[in-house]
């Protein structure tokens, strides 16, 4: 605080300041309307010596608080830089406390001024009124598996939250449920032929299932007969060779699926009805143990204009609550609702990742990963425009 700065140097200020400088500072503070005529006259007329004038001035200003004290320090720096340096003063304002987000359940819309400002920038992906009306997204949710032990309870909440968010952002949602790997491949291929792709500014592809390092699992998966959809197929089908309509357009990939079997910490539960479970198909907990599951995949190739958010780091699991859905989708909805009116997609994903720094279960850890990011510009969603 600037008033404390003045208190710290009071003795040396009184000793070193000249009467001429006192008068100059009084004129400055009077012009700033931080002192009135009566106060300035009091400093000069009610004190006989220079030291008493200096004490009266610095004490009067200190009592007026941080703003007045900071302005006096600024004027002192301008009037007498040498004295300012000798006193070791600073006029930097006290940093404002970091804003704590109050996460919104509904979408905050972008302003016309923000839209107009960004339309002038060459650093963003083009978004127009026409392209906003042509947005389309693919949403695949696998909940019910042939092996009942693999049922992903809570996935229906993820589907609901993701569909609501995408629609509020202006995307037509092409939705599938409970697909085998073959049907996922077919659904993705069919999506690349959607007539809106030619006019859209971007696409979302969201897949939620069990998984492992390089695959998302189909609903018929078993150890004896794997039912595995290669994640690389997403990038193959949406790339420029297979889907030229999406060339130079952002392709946002979100995958809620385990990427392996490792856990960020030892899983310990003191309850037979824990609330958190994982989507790791190879190590499913007994039905009476918990509610959290994990997902895993990894990508190797790079294509232009992609950005992916995977629900966990390589070889680790991701978690889901059976009553509220996965943490990844919950946090995506909250961050996008609250921040997408002013943040680009890369910053939105960073804020989602930041939410995982304080995981709600102290015995478990999960960290989403931005992967295969080849965006060359910033992409803004401009919600509600």
C-alpha to C-alpha distance for 332 and 308, rounded to whole angstroms: 13
Classify residue 134 as left (phi > 0), alpha (psi -120 to 50) or beta.
alpha
131 and 225 fall within a common domain: yes
221 and 283 fall within a common domain: yes
pTM for the model: 0.67
Phi then psi for residue 258, to 5 deg, are -60, 155
Marked catalytic residue, from 56, 243, 258, 339 = 258
Neighbours of 271 (CB within 10 A): 8
Residue 351 included in any domain: yes
C-alpha to C-alpha distance for 340 and 110, rounded to whole angstroms: 8
pLDDT score at 357: 86
Which residues, given as ranges, of the chain have pLDDT below 70? Answer: 1, 90-101, 259-303, 315-316, 362-363
Marked catalytic residue, from 56, 75, 210, 341 = 210
Task: Give the domain range for residue 28.
Answer: 2-87
pLDDT score at 101: 61
C-alpha to C-alpha distance for 190 and 271, rounded to whole angstroms: 45
**What residues have CB less than 8 Å from 197, skipping those under 6 apart?**
136, 203, 243, 245, 246
Q: Are strands 251-256 and 203-208 parallel, antiparallel or unpaired?
A: parallel
291 and 364 fall within a common domain: yes
CA angle 109, 113, 115 (to 5 degrees): 65
161 and 40 fall within a common domain: no
67 and 157 fall within a common domain: no
- CA distance to 298, 338, 355, 363, 366, per residue, from 358 (Å): 24, 19, 6, 12, 10
**What residues have CB less than 8 Å from 321, skipping those under 6 apart?**
154, 275, 276, 277, 291, 292, 327
pLDDT score at 261: 63
Tell me the pLDDT tens digit for each residue of 325-366.
899 999 999 999 999 999 999 999 999 999 988 777 766 778
Q: How many domains does the chain have?
A: 2
Sheet containing 228-230, strands listed edge to edge, beginning at the edge strand earlier in sequence: 211-212, 215-217, 228-230
What CATH number has the domain bearing residue 25? Answer: 1.10.533.10
The strand pairing partners of 373, in sequence order, are: none
The torsion defined by the Cα of 149, 154, 156 and 158, in degrees rounded to 10, comes to -130
DSSP line for 54-67: HHHHHHHHHHT-HH
Q: Are strands 276-278 and 319-321 parallel, antiparallel or unpaired?
A: antiparallel
33 and 134 fall within a common domain: no
Which residues of the chain form beta strands (DSSP E)?
136-141, 172-177, 203-208, 211-212, 215-217, 228-230, 251-256, 276-278, 306-310, 319-321, 325-326, 369-371
67 and 116 fall within a common domain: no
31 and 157 fall within a common domain: no
C-alpha to C-alpha distance for 290 and 285, rounded to whole angstroms: 7
172 and 76 fall within a common domain: no
Q: Tokens 């208190």 map to which residue?
A: 7
What CATH number has the domain bearing residue 171? Answer: 3.40.50.1460
Q: Please state at what angle helix 19-31 crosses helix 50-63, rounded to 10 degrees.
A: 30
Residue 383 included in any domain: no
Residue 92 included in any domain: no
* Active site (annotated) includes residue 210: yes
């Amino acid at each position: 605080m600037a008033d404390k700065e003045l208190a710290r140097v009071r003795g040396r200020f009184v000793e070193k300041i000249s009467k001429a400088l006192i008068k100059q500072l009084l004129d400055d503070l009077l012009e700033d309307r931080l002192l009135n005529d009566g106060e300035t006259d009091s400093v000069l007329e009610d004190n006989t010596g220079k030291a008493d004038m200096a004490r009266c001035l610095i004490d009067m200003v200190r009592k007026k608080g941080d703003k007045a004290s900071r302005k006096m320090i600024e004027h002192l720096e301008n009037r007498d830089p040498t004295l300012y340096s000798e006193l070791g003063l600073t006029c930097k304002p006290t940093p404002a406390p970091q804003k704590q987000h109050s996460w919104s359940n509904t979408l905050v819309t972008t302003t016309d001024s923000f839209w107009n400002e960004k339309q002038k920038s060459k650093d963003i992906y083009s978004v127009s009124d026409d392209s906003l009306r042509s947005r389309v997204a693919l949403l695949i949710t696998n909940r019910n598996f042939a092996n009942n032990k693999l049922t992903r309870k809570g996935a229906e909440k993820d589907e609901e939250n993701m569909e609501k968010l995408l629609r509020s952002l202006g995307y037509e949602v092409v939705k599938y449920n409970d697909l085998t790997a073959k049907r996922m491949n077919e659904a993705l291929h069919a999506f690349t032929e959607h007539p809106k792709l030619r006019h859209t500014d971007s696409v979302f592809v969201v897949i939620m299932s069990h998984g492992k390092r390089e695959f998302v699992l189909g609903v018929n998966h078993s150890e004896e007969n794997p039912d595995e959809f290669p994640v690389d197929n997403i990038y193959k089908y949406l790339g420029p060779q297979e889907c030229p309509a999406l060339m130079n357009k952002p392709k946002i990939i979100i995958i809620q699926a385990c990427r392996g079997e490792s856990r960020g910490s030892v899983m310990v539960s003191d309850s037979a009805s824990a609330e958190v479970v994982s989507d790791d198909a190879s190590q499913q907990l007994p039905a009476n143990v918990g509610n959290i599951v994990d997902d895993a995949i990894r990508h190797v190739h790079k294509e232009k204009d992609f950005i992916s958010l995977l629900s966990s780091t390589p070889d680790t699991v991701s978690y889901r609550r059976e009553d509220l859905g996965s943490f990844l989708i919950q946090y995506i909805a909250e961050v996008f609702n609250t921040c997408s009116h002013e943040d680009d997609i890369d910053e939105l994903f960073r804020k989602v990742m930041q939410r995982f720094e304080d995981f709600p279960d102290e015995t478990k850890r999960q960290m989403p990963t931005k992967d295969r990011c080849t965006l060359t510009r910033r992409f803004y969603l401009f919600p509600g425009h």
